[in-house]
Amino acid sequence: MTDLKRRQLMGLMGATAVAIPVSAVIGTLPSHADDTPMVDPSTPQATALQYIEMSDKGEQKCSSCTLYQGAADSEAGPCPLFPGNNVTAAGWCSAYVPRA
């Protein structure tokens, strides 16, 4: 690569970096906040499954249920029985299945 081409390339890279607004870059970063609504324990599905936000079943909690899809250290996460909502990691329902 000639020195002139290298300088042209560096100039182009600098112009590109300036042309991309910082907000556009920030907007592409993953969000740490989960806006997924929590399960309402009073809904028909939740009451049918006896869902509670705070387990009273000892070690049986959503966080130890095989259906829980939240991260290991999460306070809430998805469960396929409540699509579009999160359950609390400390919650429980009658469909609880312990992780193997």
Residues found near ligand SF4 in the complex (CB under 6 A):
51, 62, 65, 67-68, 79, 81, 87, 91-93, 95-96
CB of 55 to ligand SF4, least distance (A): 8
Q: Of 38 and 81, which CB lies nearer to ligand SF4 in the complex structure?
A: 81
Q: Is 91 exposed, middle or buried (0-12, 13-18, 19+ CB in 10 A)?
A: buried
Which residue type sits at 70? G
Helix (H, G, I), strand (E, B) or coil at 57: coil
CB 35 within 8 A of CB 63: no
CB of 81 to ligand SF4, least distance (A): 5
CB of 64 to ligand SF4, least distance (A): 8
